Structure 1
Amino acid sequence: MTETLSSENGRTVLRMRRELRHPAEKVWRAITEPGQLAGWFPAAVELDLRLDGVVRFTFEEDPGAPVDEQSTGVIRAYEPPHLIEYTWGDEVLRWELLPTAAGCTLQLTATYDDRAGSASFAGGWTLCFDALERVLGDTVSERDYRELHEHFVKAFGLDQGTLADDGTLRFERQLVQPKEAVWERLTGAEPTVVGNPPPAGFVPKGIDAGAVTEVDGPVRLTCACDGGEVTWTLRDGNGGARLLVTQSGATADQLPAWRDHIQALADQLV
């Protein structure tokens, strides 16, 4: 299986490919028939299999949730048994089957806006493809989503922060534990009180942090830092908490310290 991540027309494009030992016609049924989709796709799916046909997605944990724009889509390309493309809310999923001597190649092209979530998407689709192979009758070993996620973080360079011309340092990273667990890891046994220094979990080596100026656990902490300020923000993300760290008045030599510190946090959570 191969994976690539790129930016095209202002959006993020994830491409994944897997070689299968089954003919395209058999795999086509597995990616279009609701009964077979139920064995591997991340949501229950109803498809009106025609160009411009409606697609509906339902999650088992909330089957009574109202239908909205993010739980419906439309088929934009339909050429059985080789191509189907449909939207899922703002995302576009394109499935292509290419015959090979041994069976066929399945290629997924996913187009979306949340680049920072790409490791979650790639890890999740990898597990889905494993489940698809089981639906097709193959034996595939179980894998750990958290390890897959961190593999893709590094493969796609999602662990690298940015430093703007105005000195704003920024790291955005999807994590594999909920924000409450991340907050507990950051704070440890130390009190988190406005006016006090921040707990050690919030401060990389070599960074001079001042007093906490705002705290709202497990969501937000702001403290003074080297003439500017640092803000940690946690929100619910795909598969865990989404972390955003910003520092004003930062310099390029501070990027490695922050990268190593956030990586150490991610490793602990895995």
Structure 2
Amino acid sequence: MIAHIEKVENGYLAIYERHLKHPVEEVWSYLTDNEKLQKWFSELLVDELREGGVIKFDMGDGTFDELSILELKLNSVLEFSWWVDTVRFELSEESGGCLLKLIEKIHTITNHTPRDLAGWHVCLDVIEALLDGRTIERKEEWKIWYEKYIKEIEKVTQQ
């Protein structure tokens, strides 16, 4: 399901929801356990899993950017800086599994925004596939969602 994107006071929100047939603790491990994290977002590495801690982003050139963990509630909330924006994962139990919400607070829409949105979309699909024991062709999926997010951004910015 495509993210809901809306204009808010200081920018934009992109809200993704996934209803997963897996317990909160299992889904949480994909967000915070480096071995599992590498399977869906290989550039991220949790360095210090605590509020005020650090998630490192591998820039691919031997350097790392440090993203600050802004809020952490075990098996419930992981929010971190995403350069000038923020990314927040929320987990809550529901019948037969859990709800995974990803909320990206976007300061300014740029030409790169649809790329990021498509990337997060595919990341969530990959997490679900991994939990279900499946695989996804990421590049092909990303291309499809990238085109859709270009259109979604156009809708929101023309309001």
Query: If the length of structure 1 is used for normalisation, what is the TM-score?
Result: 0.52
CA contact (8 A) 2:5 2:152 kept: no
CA contact (8 A) 2:68 2:80 kept: yes
Q: Distance in 2 between matches of 1:89 and 1:129?
A: 20
Please identify runs of 4+ aligned residues in structure 1 that moved more than 6 A.
Answer: 159-162
Aligned length: 156
CA apart distance, 1:12: 2.1
- The residue that corresponds to 1:146 in the other structure is 143
- The residue that corresponds to 1:135 in the other structure is 130
CA apart distance, 1:21: 0.7
Q: Distance in 1 between matches of 2:148 and 2:108?
A: 18
Pair 1:21 & 2:15 matched: no
Pair 1:12 & 2:6 matched: no
CA apart distance, 1:86: 1.0
CA apart distance, 1:158: 5.1
Paired-residue identity, %: 24
Please list the CA deviations of residues 22-60 of structure 1 after superposition, one character each: whole Å capped at 9, or x if unmatched. 00010011111111100002523123111111222114x
- The residue that corresponds to 2:102 in the other structure is 108
Pair 1:121 & 2:116 matched: yes
- The residue that corresponds to 1:88 in the other structure is 82
CA apart distance, 1:156: 3.5
- The residue that corresponds to 1:155 in the other structure is 152
CA apart distance, 1:84: 1.1
- Tell me, what secondary structure is at the counterpart of 1:39? helix
Structure 1: gaps (5+ residues): 163-270
CA contact (8 A) 2:16 2:101 kept: yes
Q: Distance in 2 between matches of 1:4 and 1:161?
A: 15
Q: Distance in 1 between matches of 2:153 and 2:82?
A: 23
Go from structure 1 to structure 2 and tell me whether the alpha carbon gap of 1:159 and 1:84 turns closer, same or farther (over 3 Å shift): closer
CA contact (8 A) 1:42 1:128 kept: no
- The residue that corresponds to 1:56 in the other structure is 56
- The residue that corresponds to 2:40 in the other structure is 40
Q: Distance in 2 between matches of 1:53 and 1:78?
A: 9
Query: If the length of structure 2 is used for normalisation, what is the TM-score?
Result: 0.85
- Tell me, what secondary structure is at the counterpart of 1:25? helix
Q: Distance in 2 between matches of 1:97 and 1:4?
A: 17
Please list the CA deviations of residues 211-237 of structure 1 after superposition, one character each: whole Å capped at 9, or x if unmatched. xxxxxxxxxxxxxxxxxxxxxxxxxxx
Structure 2: gaps (5+ residues): none
Structure with higher RCO (Cα < 8 A, 6+ apart)? 2
Which has the higher Rg, Structure 1 or Structure 2? 1
Q: What does 1:68-87 align with in structure 2 at a 5 Å threshold?
A: 71-87=65-81
